Amino acid sequence: MKKTIVPGRVITLEHKKIPLPNGYIVQMDVIKHLGAALIVPFLNRDKVILLRQYRPVIKKYLYELPAGTAEKGESDLTTAKRELIEETGYSAGKMTLMGHIYPVPGYSTEKIAIFKAEKLKPVKYHAEEDEVISVQTVNKAAVGKMFKSGQMTDAKTICAFAMCSWL
């Protein structure tokens, strides 16, 4: 049994009964999500682009790597290329899929594809009005310090840096 509680453009909240491998049936509220892509944009071997982005839901600025939600029917790679340009003003000559993560598998289907972007070139872009972002260049040592000091708390960013052996 599945009942849509709140339909949405990016997410949909459903209440459903799900059978477990042991035969027990659980009732759960599930957020259906289109998926997302995150990009680790390397300017060179020791420098990446990092964002300081305001997140209105938690009313705080976070240090994050560029990322965004897929549009309906969009591939992970297409999402990554679009978000890199929209959030940083760079395009990548080379994109490598590093892997996938499930940020909140206890209640959401969201799956994030993590890409490493190299051979960056500046491109014309228009910052989106609904995002407050400042673009920064940081080196590996700075990323480590930000993580150890508690300045870097965005889980998807931490996972991506770990996948690239930066943490």
Catalytic residues: 129
> Three-state SS for 146?
helix
Residue 54: enclosing H or E segment and its boundaries?
Answer: strand 47-55
Q: What is the CA radius of gyration of the chain?
A: 17
Q: In whole angstroms, what is the distance from residue 123 CA to residue 40 CA?
A: 17
Distance, CA of 30 to CA of 41 (rounded, Å): 32
